[in-house]
Amino acid sequence: MVVSDIMTRDVISVDITATVADVVALMHDNDFRHVPVLSDGELVGMISDRDLRGYTMPVLDLNSGEVKRRNLQVPVTDVMNTDTMSLGPEAPLSEIIEMMLEQKVGAVPVLDDHSDKLLGIVSYVDVLIAARDVL
């Protein structure tokens, strides 16, 4: 089995012009935890719920219960992880599992072997579904 067999092909992503508020809303509305960040269709970073947790917690004023909205208008590029690992579509499934375990990530983008164009994404849920289906 290879990565392209289990990847999600219709990836919801954001452009580098998105704000933290845009990503928070997107994650909430779609119930996922990892979002690729693109510039002209090419992957430039990833942002996860883990990245946002460390950033969004200080935007809540616990004394007044209000959200400091200006902090949510920060560009996603200020919060995203630019040290993003990726794999090609023909990589063996074992390689993506090893990458997720070693790097402690929950999703890995799949890029075209000849460009940085995003083809899909594999999350730990995709891996578990594939494992369930062969057991």
pLDDT band (50, 70, 90) for residue 111: very high
Which is more confident, 67 or 104? 104
Return the pLDDT at 8: 95
Work out the pLDDT band at 60, boundaries 50, 70, 90.
low
pTM, to two decimals: 0.85
Residue 51 has pLDDT above 70, yes or no: yes
Which CATH number applies to 3-134?
A: 3.10.580.10
| Cα gap 33→51, rounded to integer Å | 10
- Has residue 65 got a pLDDT over 90? no
Q: What is the mean pLDDT of residues 68-73?
A: 67
- Asked if the model's pLDDT at residue 45 lies above 70, the reply is yes
**Domain extents in the chain:** 3-134
